[in-house]
Structure 1
Amino acid sequence: MTRTAPRALLALALLVPAAAGCGGGAEVGGPDTVTVTVGYQSKTINTVTVGTLLRSLGYFEEELEERGARDGVTYEVRWQDYATGAPITAQMTAGKIDIGSMGDFPLLLNAARGKQLDRPTRLVSVTGYNLRGGLNTIVTAPGSGLTSLRDLKGTKVSTSVGSAADGTLVRALQREGLDPDKDIRKLNQQPAVGASALQSGSADALSQFVAWPGLLAHQGRATALYDGAALGLPTFHGVTAREDFAEEHTAVLEDFLRAQIRATKYLREKPVAAAESVARATGLPAEVVYLYNGANGIATFGTAVRPDLVAALKQDVPVLASAGLVGDLDAESFVDAFVDDRYLRRAHGAGYDAALTAKAPAARGELWRKDGTTRSYDSPEALLSAVAADRGAVRAAYVPDATTGTPWFADKAVWVADGDALLPFLAPSAAADWIAAHPGARTLPYAQALERAAS
């Protein structure tokens, strides 16, 4: 990628909203045709069940075709792809997008903007989530010498203000006793621009959401500095719909949610095929897609609007308010008015209440072989032993962080030998903390970890 490419992409992204002027939900082509406009983020890959993957599977179109045959109406779907949630919100409040997907912080901005303009929106379902916050990561350039959050004091950090990744940056710095407004210089940039800034040296670190940190690490353009899961606060992406659209086209919205449920089931049952499909559509490496969306990926996929995710939204409101991004809002009443899972309950049917409190699967290592097969492992040593036994057959190997459970590429993890145990960590500071608490433990290169596992 050239350094000018991200700027070109940003310019294009800024032009898209102006070009997307077709009215969402408007009757196009006659009184018997209804167009539904869906705004999604192709490269924010834990929204694929309402975006990239759903679009490729054609499930929503199938649902609408069946409805149209019953109602005598022709339904058309218009998909609009964006880099972040902000332009989706702009188009929704202008009445030009009916259904949109975005992260938790942008969802709150979506709700606040809708409230302000008297064009209310509603949170109707969830796509992918991580109950500890592992979808956001702070990374630095390889060889930067930065190994902890405290090292960021006096540096330039790129993020997208108002995003969940920005929230992670603010909270993480505050926990370390740093002032996000005074101790760093925050650069408000689109993810692609921030990635370019990190590579060029105009930014010292980058705090971003799925899938940018994993992509840059996979490419050797970044190393992890901080695992968002260290915060222990849930983060997720969800689906928002305009209230007027939901009320006027309730059955259509429920068709969309049924299609999402089908796409979620497909992803769970065929994670490799889903990752390959998303990779083809987005240009992202399939290995990166699988890091987040795989069978043991960072994201857990489920449509239920879980109480713990709603509670996390309420904790997010003060963060946005302190940054001046929303007004003086009562978090409880504001979020409660925004959340509306009635449509999902009807689309989901039996079992929805159980889904509200379903446990995320335990973190396990996973090996993806070049023949397309995968295998999970209960210990890092077992996974490394399998890698060492036949390195030429390995496409990718993933291991969960020893303290947070966040999966990461095995060859990019920080490895610690503690007695006979081999422990992987996403961030060097987490490894340092472990070593400080366990006399005799030490870091070792990945190659040596493989040799120890093989022997």
Structure 2
Amino acid sequence: MKASLLLAFSLAFATAVQAETIRVAIGTQDTTINCATGGLLIRELKLLEKYLPRDGRYKDVSYDIQWKNFTSGAPLTNEMVADKLDIGSMADFPGSNNGAAFLKAGKKSVFITVLSGSTLGSGNGVVVPRQSSIAALSELKGRTISVPFASTAHGMLLRAVASQGLDPQKDVNIITQAPEVAGPALQANRIEAHADFVPFVELFEHRGIARKIYDGAQVGAPTYHGSLVSGEYAQKYPEVVVAFLRAAIEADRLIAAEPEKYSELIEKTTGIEAAVNYLYHGPLGLQTRDLTWKPEYRKALKTSIETLKLMGRESPLDADTFVDDRYIRAAFKQAGLNYEARLADHDKLPLKANDAVAGKPIADFQRVAGIWVQGEPKVRHYASIEGALADLQKIEQGGRKARAVYVHDLIHRIKLLAPTSWYAVDAKGQLSAFLQKDAASAYATANKGRVLDFAGAQAVAKATP
């Protein structure tokens, strides 16, 4: 009997010793809301636990899931290279830094998925203080522009300045400044302009301290946020990497179905207002959530690697081998999704809604608008800007307020915050929205109209029968 008990104890002890604990250490950027489907939502909704493998070689393992939040990609990369993190999410430009840093350390990381981005380039931008007279990037010659160094916004700024025929090294003074420092500096007029990444340009606009004068779509350089993994970790635990991507796919599905609900969750977790989160994640959003490696995103990565050279940080990093789409393809297959079909699809999350006043389905999206009324769980949608602003007047007359009013730039097809946009009204009384005043002026001239600010557009809507 004693011998049997001893044998049983020995076997149990041997099993316990052999049972493996697998660390899954994930670096997130919660306030960089385009990383939400690769971090915040997975963590808060405990989606990773649903998909971690528990059969075959993983039958008896236990998982040590660790989460660590960062405000930018550079410190996240430092911890990945130091083997303190296995997976991390960041934008194309800091992602290039990540790959270069791994190579410098004699290691390798791989970009495994896109999370959200813009094949047009929107998402990064430049703002000036709200009351500044500066209306265009070209007017910043000889002035100081702050930006978080080594960020995707930094890469965009260098290209944008060059696109104006200016030398980034000589014609402007570019200094480093984190978003949390730039906000108060803009409010106090201590800086002349600031470039930043998702969502800070629009966040500063929404909070009334800045006005966007330039969007990355104008330089036409695709940009994205995505997830990377240590190459050694991916080789050792490929099924765990696929499980992480299955969780990202589910997070993407959930926010697509209920963007207002999960925009609220992001606000609760980060303090980034739900109205700004919805600007990105809602229908026809400023950027598109997309987990496939479109040619434009591969191009963005190559451009980011080339930008490293502009900063004197050359690296043997090769975009073609840095991207490894095997894991996301496997995750799509497990989820019953068609990767090739999604790869070929460039459409934004569609708007399927009826006009909030007329009740008819919205079919033309060039001049659509939206209002998120305080206390309402869903955004109201409108087929025209004048229709939305007329309804806004009634909402405010009824003693209610709007959390946000949205319009769309007629040229770049990007969603804008209405109070800081420019407008042109044509001879028929139809309103069109623009990011830049000069674009509104050109349209007004061509259509026998006039240029308006938000107050002027409201007056037109009020006077429209």
Fold match by TM threshold 0.5: yes
- Contact preservation (8 Å) 1:122, 1:240: yes
Partner residue of 2:341? 354
Deviation at 1:393, TM superposition (A): 5.5
Task: Within 5 Å, give how 1:425-436 maps onto structure 2.
Answer: 425-435=434-444
Deviation at 1:400, TM superposition (A): 1.0
Task: Within 5 Å, give how 1:54-453 maps onto structure 2.
Answer: 54-64=42-52, 71-327=59-315, 329=316, 334-349=318-333, 350-361=337-348, 364-370=368-374, 371-391=376-396, 392=400, 394-419=402-427, 420-435=429-444, 438=446, 440-453=448-461
| CA distance in 2: counterparts of 1:164 and 1:286, whole angstroms | 23
- Contact preservation (8 Å) 1:195, 1:206: no
- Contact preservation (8 Å) 2:54, 2:61: no
- Contact preservation (8 Å) 1:258, 1:347: yes
| CA distance in 2: counterparts of 1:336 and 1:379, whole angstroms | 44
- Contact preservation (8 Å) 2:373, 2:402: yes
Question: How many residues are matched?
Answer: 422
| CA distance in 1: counterparts of 2:438 and 2:183, whole angstroms | 22
| CA distance in 2: counterparts of 1:66 and 1:369, whole angstroms | 45
After superposition, give the CA deviation of every residue in 1:297-351 in whole Å (9 maximum; x if it has no partner): 2121121111221122223322221111333x48xxx000100010111111140
* RMSD of aligned alpha carbons: 2.1
- Contact preservation (8 Å) 1:296, 1:365: no
Deviation at 1:66, TM superposition (A): 5.0
Normalising by structure 1, report the TM-score.
0.88
Select between 156-165 and 98-107 the one with higher mean Cα deviation: 156-165
Q: Secondary structure at the match of 2:344?
A: coil
Select between 438-447 and 65-74 the one with higher mean Cα deviation: 65-74
Q: Secondary structure at the match of 1:404?
A: coil
**CA 74–220 in structure 1, closer or farther in 2 if over 3 Å, else same:** same
- Contact preservation (8 Å) 2:35, 2:225: yes
- Contact preservation (8 Å) 2:115, 2:227: yes
| CA distance in 2: counterparts of 1:286 and 1:101, whole angstroms | 21
Normalising by structure 2, report the TM-score.
0.86
| CA distance in 2: counterparts of 1:401 and 1:439, whole angstroms | 16
Deviation at 1:150, TM superposition (A): 1.9
Q: Secondary structure at the match of 2:329?
A: helix
Whether 1:42 aligns to 2:30 is yes
After superposition, give the CA deviation of every residue in 1:24-74 in whole Å (9 maximum; x if it has no partner): xxxxx9953222100010100011001112211110022237569961111
| CA distance in 2: counterparts of 1:160 and 1:85, whole angstroms | 10
- Contact preservation (8 Å) 2:54, 2:60: no
Paired letter, 2:142: G
- Contact preservation (8 Å) 2:261, 2:377: no
| CA distance in 1: counterparts of 2:188 and 2:460, whole angstroms | 37
Q: Which runs of 5+ in 1 are unaligned?
A: 1-28
**CA 195–30 in structure 1, closer or farther in 2 if over 3 Å, else same:** farther
| CA distance in 2: counterparts of 1:55 and 1:443, whole angstroms | 46
Identity %: 33
- Contact preservation (8 Å) 1:136, 1:165: yes
Q: Secondary structure at the match of 2:242?
A: helix
| CA distance in 1: counterparts of 2:447 and 2:141, whole angstroms | 29
**CA 174–114 in structure 1, closer or farther in 2 if over 3 Å, else same:** same
Select between 39-48 and 418-427 the one with higher mean Cα deviation: 418-427
After superposition, give the CA deviation of every residue in 1:381-410 in whole Å (9 maximum; x if it has no partner): 333233233232533221111111111111
Q: Secondary structure at the match of 1:158?
A: strand
| CA distance in 2: counterparts of 1:208 and 1:390, whole angstroms | 33
| Larger Rg belongs to | 2
